[in-house]
Structure 1
Amino acid sequence: MDAPKLPIRPSSARFFPFISRSPASTHNPYRRGIWISVCFLSVAFLLVCLVVSSRSSTSRFGIVIDAGSSGTRIHIFSSKGVRGGVPLLDLKSMAVMRKTPGLSSYLGDPELSGESLVELLEFAKEKVPMDWHKVTEVRLMATAGLRMVEVGLRERILESCRRVLRLSSFQFKDDWATVIPGSDEGVYAWVAANYALGTLGGDPENTTGILELGGASAQVTFVSNEALPPEFSHVLTLGNTTYKLYSNSFLHFGQNVAHESLQKMLNSSDLKSCK
């Protein structure tokens, strides 16, 4: 089976080769959208790597490290092939391990952040057959927790992680450890939701819009043929189906940040009780 044709634009090509931004046409964005809160963004990360690796017949396993604001999770998965341009996950073989705190907690000593991945990688080595280690890709995707960190400090944290990943027995390249843009995070959440609902790979009109609530940010993504600003417009092609998506990310609107803001307000001396 031929690999799906995936559009590439310079703004996304470095790490997201099946996403591009382009203006859209006219359509009511709320017509088919059902606003839901999803907690399985990691499934989207798995699908991302499967879409990329589906071009090659040599890699059946994949590893994604989801570096969130509240913790770091490693996900090990395998695929059963591709149907209609959409990868088929072998859900029974999936394995997950979580470690806290998140990478953003290493601001005081960023060089130590990579050590937090060692235990996670050892877990992955146990789950992936040894014969598959050299052809199994491992990717680290950090979200809003690191997006809020100053650029220089963020890069020191990522470089510490890259040093550890280079020494792993898995296939790794330096640009596979990065901080993903919030709007792309929304696209991945949309992919995960519609994969779970069975609507991915079919008619765009039958897909479901999502509201994805993370620890430090919230994302809104749905199919739209409205004329959109380029920064909110994304094109996703799977097999013979093209989806024109609106995706927007709202930093500081995640549940952890909201809780911290509430605690700060309640502890403020300026807060006056009312009868």
Structure 2
Amino acid sequence: MFDNKKHFTTAIVGALVAFSVIALVLSLVKIEDVTLPPVVKYGMVFDAGSSHTSLFVYEWDSDKENDTGVVSQTLSCDVQGQGISSYANDPPKAGDSLRECLDKALKVIPAAKQRDAPAYLGATAGMRLLREQNSSAADHILATVAKTMRQYPVAFKGARILTGEEEGAYGWITINYLLDSFMKYSPKTHTWVHPEAANIFGALDLGGASTQISFMPEGSVTNWNEASEFMLYGFNYNIYTHSYLCYGQNEMLKRLAKELIAESSSSMHVDHPCYPKDYNETVLLSSFRTSPCTNQSDPRLTLDNKNVTLQGRGDASGCLTAVRKLFNFSACGQSQDCTFDGVYQPPVRGQFIAFSAFYYNFKFLNLTEGQSLATVRENIKHFCTRSWEDLSSSYPEENPERLPKYCANANYILTLLLDAYKFNETSWNNIFFQMKAGSADVGWTLGYMLNLTNMIPAEAPARLKGHVPSLWAVAVAFIILTLSLGLAALLVLLWV
């Protein structure tokens, strides 16, 4: 009898111990280790800018949707030719221009994923200007690009013209999403936390036809015409954003040339202080009529078919003076919350990412490494005094149409950032000139796709997958109790 009881009790204790070991092993297996492999999704956005069009393809794990930092850039493709607004007289060519990049996109997106991949086209300032000048031509171009995109096995979601404020706001979302500024994971608390508002980056974008500034000011934006509100990850963001049409660098150069010609007493040869010495450029006056930024009537100038030669003078200070005349600073009076043309802006705050033409111009001039403002000014001044022969021999691989423009572009950037946006010697160090953040290009396209696909939820993200601390504690307590009961049963057996 005793042996039978002993064997029976031993079996029970053994079973309990075995069960406890199994429970312990299972409790150590994280949920991530047993889930099915993630399903990768894809999306694409065409950035149809004023001077060119680019396609960006993104991918992300579907089991991490509505989480942070999960979207990566798979492909960027530059469309050959100028921006789609240049096809106003031949709209079908706008659609055809996209085909090469669409074909490349289908090579990186698996065939089984293509029909579920959302595809967008967003047009910016070039098309905004064309819509002002010829709305039917703008509509026709959008229709032709939409027709082309529908011919491909993707989930086409539309082609539209973004407002300037949308362009600025989506660029701001892209930057802060890529830099994890909206949410950061805290290993200490095992939760997502909101960084301090002061750690949110501002966005500075300079295109061919417009420029945008977007940032979180101190306090709320008092002028609601310049405000954008977003509820992201359970937190409300009230940002200031403004877009200046006709203040992109290409339109600025046209406006500068027109103003210099209008001010000149000569009708055939005009000095251009920003162009290198001994560089000449011929301009057809009637070409100013092609853009709403320069087609306004001017009593000093007749926009006929006459040619005018712009003669470079390499005058650094004269260039800066000429560029400043393009801004109406007097419209702000004594107001400190004003940039130019009477536009409201609260004081800049925090760190900024300056991208697009801000970056490309300063990268060429080797000014993207955090140099002081004094160094930046001195380098630009020196560059502006170099002759055309010197520049063309020093930069043989640079586009000869772009090379003579860097002096004007650099002085324009200084004027815009310092005189208009009111950065100063100290806050200048808070501007970072870069074109990439994390794994993707900086721009409005990623923020646009994230917004339209609801990849950034309004609610805060749930706790990470894995063990919930309370359940883990219960599991440990259960194992200890099981082992204790087994040991007690063994002691009873030995006592009897």
Please name the residue that 1:223 is paired with.
Answer: 216
Please name the residue that 2:101 is paired with.
Answer: 120
| Alignment of 1:151 onto 2:135 | yes
Please name the residue that 1:11 is paired with.
Answer: none
Q: Is the partner of 2:201 in helix, strand or coil?
A: coil
Please name the residue that 1:72 is paired with.
Answer: 53
Please name the residue that 1:95 is paired with.
Answer: 75
Q: Is the partner of 1:95 in helix, strand or coil?
A: strand
The alpha-carbon deviation at position 85 of structure 1 amounts to 4.2
Aligned pairs for 1:160-175 (under 5 A) are 160-173=144-157
Unaligned runs of 5+ in 1: 1-56
Equivalent of 2:111 in 109, 123, 130: 130
Task: Indicate conservation of the 8 Å contact 2:124/2:167, yes or no.
Answer: yes
Equivalent of 2:86 in 77, 98, 105: 105
What's the CA shift string for 1:108-129, capped at 9, x where partnerless?
1123311111112111111111
Residues 90 and 210 (structure 1), Cα distance of their counterparts in 2 relative to 1, 3 Å cut: closer
- The code of the aligned residue for 2:205 comes to E
Structure 1 stretch displaced more, 199-208 or 245-254: 199-208
Equivalent of 2:198 in 198, 205, 208: 205
The alpha-carbon deviation at position 229 of structure 1 amounts to 3.0
Mapped to 2, the partners of 1:76 and 1:88 lie a distance apart of 14
Mapped to 2, the partners of 1:135 and 1:119 lie a distance apart of 21
Please name the residue that 1:38 is paired with.
Answer: none
Mapped to 2, the partners of 1:109 and 1:83 lie a distance apart of 41
Please name the residue that 2:165 is paired with.
Answer: 183
Mapped to 2, the partners of 1:106 and 1:208 lie a distance apart of 36
- The code of the aligned residue for 1:89 comes to V
Residues 234 and 58 (structure 1), Cα distance of their counterparts in 2 relative to 1, 3 Å cut: farther
Mapped to 1, the partners of 2:255 and 2:94 lie a distance apart of 26
Please name the residue that 2:226 is paired with.
Answer: 232
Residues 137 and 83 (structure 1), Cα distance of their counterparts in 2 relative to 1, 3 Å cut: closer
- The code of the aligned residue for 1:245 comes to I
Mapped to 2, the partners of 1:252 and 1:140 lie a distance apart of 22
What's the CA shift string for 1:213-255, capped at 9, x where partnerless?
1111011111133243333211112222221111111001111
Task: Indicate conservation of the 8 Å contact 1:114/1:162, yes or no.
Answer: yes
Q: Is the partner of 1:97 in helix, strand or coil?
A: strand
Task: Indicate conservation of the 8 Å contact 1:86/1:238, yes or no.
Answer: no
Residues 263 and 163 (structure 1), Cα distance of their counterparts in 2 relative to 1, 3 Å cut: same
The alpha-carbon deviation at position 69 of structure 1 amounts to 0.7
The alpha-carbon deviation at position 210 of structure 1 amounts to 2.2
- The code of the aligned residue for 2:223 comes to P
Q: Is the partner of 1:88 in helix, strand or coil?
A: coil
Structure 1 stretch displaced more, 204-213 or 154-163: 204-213
Mapped to 1, the partners of 2:176 and 2:237 lie a distance apart of 12
Residues 80 and 189 (structure 1), Cα distance of their counterparts in 2 relative to 1, 3 Å cut: same
Equivalent of 1:254 in 248, 253, 274: 248
User: Alignment RMSD, CA only?
Assistant: 2.4
Taking structure 1 as the reference length, what is the TM-score of the superposition?
A: 0.71
Unaligned runs of 5+ in 2: 1-37, 184-193, 266-270, 274-317, 319-496
The alpha-carbon deviation at position 160 of structure 1 amounts to 0.6
Structure number with higher strand proportion: 1
Taking structure 2 as the reference length, what is the TM-score of the superposition?
A: 0.40
- The code of the aligned residue for 1:181 comes to T
Mapped to 2, the partners of 1:83 and 1:138 lie a distance apart of 18
The alpha-carbon deviation at position 192 of structure 1 amounts to 2.1
Residue identity (%): 29
Task: Indicate conservation of the 8 Å contact 1:59/1:135, yes or no.
Answer: no
Residues 59 and 139 (structure 1), Cα distance of their counterparts in 2 relative to 1, 3 Å cut: farther
Task: Indicate conservation of the 8 Å contact 1:58/1:135, yes or no.
Answer: no
Residues 228 and 151 (structure 1), Cα distance of their counterparts in 2 relative to 1, 3 Å cut: farther
Mapped to 1, the partners of 2:264 and 2:174 lie a distance apart of 41
What's the CA shift string for 1:182-209, capped at 9, x where partnerless?
0011011111222343313333332122
Residues 59 and 121 (structure 1), Cα distance of their counterparts in 2 relative to 1, 3 Å cut: same
Structure 1 stretch displaced more, 222-231 or 236-245: 222-231
The structure number with the bigger radius of gyration is 2
Mapped to 1, the partners of 2:262 and 2:139 lie a distance apart of 37
Q: Is the partner of 2:57 in helix, strand or coil?
A: strand
Residues 169 and 84 (structure 1), Cα distance of their counterparts in 2 relative to 1, 3 Å cut: closer
Task: Indicate conservation of the 8 Å contact 2:221/2:240, yes or no.
Answer: no
Please name the residue that 1:242 is paired with.
Answer: 236
Task: Indicate conservation of the 8 Å contact 1:80/1:87, yes or no.
Answer: no
Mapped to 1, the partners of 2:43 and 2:66 lie a distance apart of 20
The count of residues paired between Structure 1 and Structure 2 equals 214
- The code of the aligned residue for 1:254 comes to G
